[in-house]
Structure 1
Amino acid sequence: MTSVFFGFLHLYGPQFWSSILASYPKSVIIPWGTFIISQVGFWFWVSLLAVLDLCQFPKSFWRYKIQPLKVPTWEWYRKALWVVLQNQFLVALPSSFLLWKLMDLRGNPVGMELPTVWDLSKELIGFLVVEELGFYYGHRLFHHPKLYKRIHKKHHLYTAPIGIAAIYCHPIEHFVCNLCPLALGPVLMKSHILTLWLWITVGQTNAINSHCGFHLPLFPSPLAHDYHHEVFNKNFGPLGVLDWLHDTAGSREMAAEKKQRELAATTQAQTNVQAVVPDSSKPNVKEV
């Protein structure tokens, strides 16, 4: 995806970008461009996954299903659709205008000079740090008992998640956990708007993949977040660094191993107790 993006910039970028700048003001390019890019990317992947979920086509891909006993239905999609559209038009669209103001204050994000691979490489580190910190701690916050029932419980309706459920959540959660960590890095790094659009596309694709319910070839593994939806108290972060630091990392394999260790320890304890308890069938007296 990144190579395609920079390949396009190298071949057609200057002419394309100059025509955009000549046709639209920043007040249109930043908020509306960001919203359109996110919409196209989101519904492209969700539509492909809907065909896989609902039509089971191609059938051969179902061997990659993580929880094969839980088969998505039209009802799952219908329930998610209305909430997702509300989050996109009532939360994400207004937020894109806030993003325009913040990026404009930090510098000129729509300059004629196009971003380079080196620019992205430098800024990507900052993006990843902000995303990991913002999403992990925001996510942990919404798992607090006082907030979970009121806000985050909605997102955990899908214990076997589907792609569209990536933003099936309370609007406050969508703003705090999904939008802010993704957009704050480019704002702080004074990134070009094209870099922001690439980062949004990558981040959004990763979020959909994390919820898709399939461990598809050539895609990052979604097992960690899928497991989070199953057990709720493991794998809060997108990268896993803070999960490792706070001992909240987990997997089905780790859970099975822990269960086996606990069973072995219980069995050993029972054996030890039986070894020290005297046999009541024999008289407790010494023979003279």
Structure 2
Amino acid sequence: MAFGVSDELLSTFIPIVVYWIYSGVCVLFSSLEEYRLHPKGEEDTKNIVSKWTVVKGVLVQQAFQVAISLILFTVIDSGSEAAAESQPSLFVIAMQFLVAMFVVDTWQYFMHRYMHMNKFLYKHIHSKHHRLIVPYSYGALYNHPLEGLLLDTTGGALSFLISGMTPRTSIFFFSFATIKSINDHCGLWLPGNPLNMFFDNNSAYHDIHHQLYGNKYNFSQPFFVVWDRILGTYMPYSLEKRKEGGLEARIIKD
């Protein structure tokens, strides 16, 4: 408990606050054309959904996440005082992070891939997210509500339960996962960004997936690319400078 607020409530609401703060930081950097993966004007010319609609869609999904999170914490009945008395060691927390990352990646890969392969699900559910051909930060959670429930909320709940992390640990895990997801959609390649340096699954990698030629590749999210590599859906790319300025993720053809 911090400032009289339970760990459960902090775990529910802090990632949402992090979402809008980090998205805002990325928006500020998006004015730097030399670090963009697409010219800024393409956000309006290529995307088929308005930015205000995206904001409303994300708020709807976050409302669902809040409801499910509060229900989950109520069901498992993990009191904050008990959790505070039995916080695990840093080693255990690190292992829980790794387990949770693997669970999220596995769930997201297979569900995400199935939504692309099933024509009905893609047309009526997942295509909503792909209205953003040129992704930007606060569009990371712009999904159909059912997709948000199946991919993000359910995947997060499974990672929490299977890893055995405490509500306090989950504050940091879900905040980190939120930052990682935003980074993958921000459309930027900022020099020195550790999320792009240490994760193969990064903003350029996921940008490939949002293009028509990469629609059946690079399903992995948000952390690693293991399942794409194992199951043959990895599309290699190189990061090149555009003649007009900025950067571009280009596929490497055989």
- TM-score tier (shorter): 0.7 to 0.9
User: How far off its partner does 1:71 sit?
Assistant: 4.1
- CA 1:69–1:78 in structure 2 vs 1: closer, same or farther (change >3 Å)? closer
- CA 1:80–1:69 in structure 2 vs 1: closer, same or farther (change >3 Å)? closer
Name the aligned partner's letter for residue 43 of structure 2. Answer: P
For 1:157, which of 109, 112, 131 is the aligned residue? 131
Question: d(CA) in 1 for partners of 2:82 and 2:165?
Answer: 6
Residue 193 (1) aligns with residue 176 (2):
no
Name the aligned partner's letter for residue 232 of structure 1. Answer: N
Partner in structure 2 of residue 236 of structure 1: 219
Residue 218 of structure 2 contacts residue 235 of structure 2 at CA under 8 Å; is this kept in 1? Answer: yes
Residue 236 of structure 2 contacts residue 252 of structure 2 at CA under 8 Å; is this kept in 1? Answer: no
Equivalent residue of 2:218, what SS?
Answer: coil
Partner in structure 2 of residue 271 of structure 1: none
User: How far off its partner does 1:194 sit?
Assistant: 1.3
Cα deviation digits, residues 116-158 of structure 1 (max 9, x gap): 3212112122112201111001101211212000100000001
Alignment map for 1:1-288 (pairs within 5 Å): 17=1, 23=4, 29-30=7-8, 32-53=9-30, 56=31, 59=32, 62-68=33-39, 70-72=41-43, 76-89=50-63, 91-104=64-77, 110-143=83-116, 144-216=118-190, 217-218=192-193, 219-220=195-196, 221-230=202-211, 231-238=214-221, 239-253=224-238, 256-258=251-253, 261=254
Question: d(CA) in 2 for partners of 1:102 and 1:122?
Answer: 25
User: How far off its partner does 1:249 sit?
Assistant: 0.5
Residue 83 of structure 1 contacts residue 168 of structure 1 at CA under 8 Å; is this kept in 2? Answer: yes
Equivalent residue of 2:161, what SS?
Answer: helix
Normalised by the length of structure 2, the TM-score is 0.80
- CA 1:82–1:109 in structure 2 vs 1: closer, same or farther (change >3 Å)? farther
Query: Which of 1 and 2 has greater Rg?
Result: 1
Question: d(CA) in 2 for partners of 1:122 and 1:109?
Answer: 21
Residue 183 of structure 1 contacts residue 196 of structure 1 at CA under 8 Å; is this kept in 2? Answer: no
Residue 115 of structure 1 contacts residue 194 of structure 1 at CA under 8 Å; is this kept in 2? Answer: no
Residue 225 of structure 1 contacts residue 235 of structure 1 at CA under 8 Å; is this kept in 2? Answer: yes
Question: d(CA) in 1 for partners of 2:252 and 2:181?
Answer: 28
Name the aligned partner's letter for residue 16 of structure 2. Answer: Q
- CA 1:214–1:196 in structure 2 vs 1: closer, same or farther (change >3 Å)? same
Cα deviation digits, residues 49-79 of structure 1 (max 9, x gap): 22333xx2xx3xx322112365435x84222
Question: d(CA) in 2 for partners of 1:69 and 1:163?
Answer: 13
Question: d(CA) in 2 for partners of 1:69 and 1:241?
Answer: 31
Equivalent residue of 2:72, what SS?
Answer: helix
Question: d(CA) in 1 for partners of 2:164 and 2:251?
Answer: 46
User: How far off its partner does 1:244 sit?
Assistant: 0.6
Question: d(CA) in 1 for partners of 2:92 and 2:172?
Answer: 12
Normalised by the length of structure 1, the TM-score is 0.71
Cα deviation digits, residues 208-264 of structure 1 (max 9, x gap): 000000012323231111110012111001211010111000134497542xx5xxx
Partner in structure 1 of residue 246 of structure 2: none
Identity %: 22
In structure 2, the gaps of 5 or more residues are 197-201, 239-248
**Higher helix fraction (1 or 2):** 1
Residue 38 of structure 1 contacts residue 201 of structure 1 at CA under 8 Å; is this kept in 2? Answer: yes
Partner in structure 1 of residue 244 of structure 2: none
Partner in structure 2 of residue 10 of structure 1: none
- CA 1:85–1:46 in structure 2 vs 1: closer, same or farther (change >3 Å)? same
User: How far off its partner does 1:109 sit?
Assistant: 6.9
Task: Number of aligned residue pairs: give it.
Answer: 229
How well do the aligned residues superpose, as a CA RMSD in angstroms? 2.7
